[in-house]
Amino acid sequence: MVGTHALGSERRTPGRRESAGATALSDTMPRLVLEARRVSSLLAHGLHGRRRAGPGESFWQFRPFVTGEAAARVDWRRSARDDRLYVREREWEAAHNIWLWIDRSASMGFASDLAAASKVERALILGLALADAFVEGGERVGLLGLTRATASRGIVERMIQALIADKSGLEQDLPPRATPARFDEVVLIGDFLTTPDRIATAVQGLAGRGSRGHLLMVVDPIEETFPFTGQAVLHDLEGGLSLAIGDAGAWGDRYRARIAEHRAALQAIVRQQGWTLTIHRTDRPASEAALRLATLIAARGPE
């Protein structure tokens, strides 16, 4: 993210507040967890899991015996309690997982006066809410490069522990190298404010074995509109660089054109791999982006 402030305002080391906020997330986690569970509960009304009958080890449900089926399929113990014959169905199980990655680099700590939360807080809320909802729907969820995929009801707590312990993730603005299996789903949540070629390399590596994926781009409303006038200085929150741009109003058109060019490049990257791109502004409810992502994944269904 490129932060801005008017000349003459309090000067500070670029990125210090944002970096400190990213490393102190453990203090805000209880509040973020509450918000994530609230969003997850909203998803439960519009999201149905991909569970179905099929080969597997786990019991799913009893259903009435259908004439023509093999008698060996009858569950005689259950049938003895009723006047009907029942078949024990097992849950369809395939080695498909949902992998999440949440950007916690310095640029994600940015929050303008127009935003309801910083980008990193919103990204964590979205990631935790999606994980909780997916597990409720019978899916297995893991953090890319950090944890194995699991259907544990304590998925939110597992993710939090892994994220707090992972200090190296605070320095990475793109996901680690990994090789998800074919038909696994990958959800990358970040601001993706880096060069398109780096993003393309990361996406191509993750999609190499046929995994399906989604980029969830979290942006501050100021990053969309650039509503500045007068003399201004831009700060690179990760690199610590500063740029005096002169008249911010005149520079704004060029900035918005660059943003549009960057978005077009991202669209081309995901389209080439059959992935999706969702853009979420932090002045909008988190539930909007979470429901869109959950719907996109549920719509594809298991193979």
**pLDDT for the residue numbered 39:** 94
- Of the pLDDT bands very low, low, confident and very high (cuts 50, 70, 90), residue 55 is very low
Output the CA torsion sign for 132, 137, 138, 144: negative
Asked if pLDDT for residue 95 goes beyond 70, the answer is no
- Encode burial over 50-63: b for 16+ CB neighbours within 10 A, e otherwise: bbeeeeeeeebeee
Cα 85 to Cα 66: distance, rounded to the nearest angstrom: 9
Q: Are 193 and 123 in contact (CB under 8 A)?
A: no
Report the largest interatomic distance among the alpha carbons of the chain, rounded to a whole angstrom: 84
**pLDDT for the residue numbered 66:** 81
Cα 256 to Cα 248: distance, rounded to the nearest angstrom: 12
Asked if pLDDT for residue 101 goes beyond 90, the answer is yes
Q: Output the DSSP codes for 78-122.
A: HHTTSSS-EEEEEBP--S--EEEEE--SGGGG---TT-SS-HHHH
Each residue's pLDDT tens digit, 1-33: 444 333 233 333 444 444 454 456 677 888 999
**pLDDT for the residue numbered 247:** 65
Asked if pLDDT for residue 290 goes beyond 60, the answer is yes
Strand partners, 101: 188
Asked if pLDDT for residue 51 goes beyond 90, the answer is no
As a whole number, mean pLDDT of residues 256-284 equals 95
As a whole number, mean pLDDT of residues 99-110 equals 94
Cα 176 to Cα 202: distance, rounded to the nearest angstrom: 8
Per-domain residue ranges for the chain? 2-51+93-300, 59-90
Which residue stretches of the chain are H helix? Answer: 16-23, 25-44, 76-79, 119-136, 155-165, 196-207, 221-225, 248-273, 286-300
Each residue's pLDDT tens digit, 161-190: 999 999 888 889 999 999 899 889 999 999
Residue bearing the bigger pLDDT, 234 or 218? 218
Cα 243 to Cα 14: distance, rounded to the nearest angstrom: 11
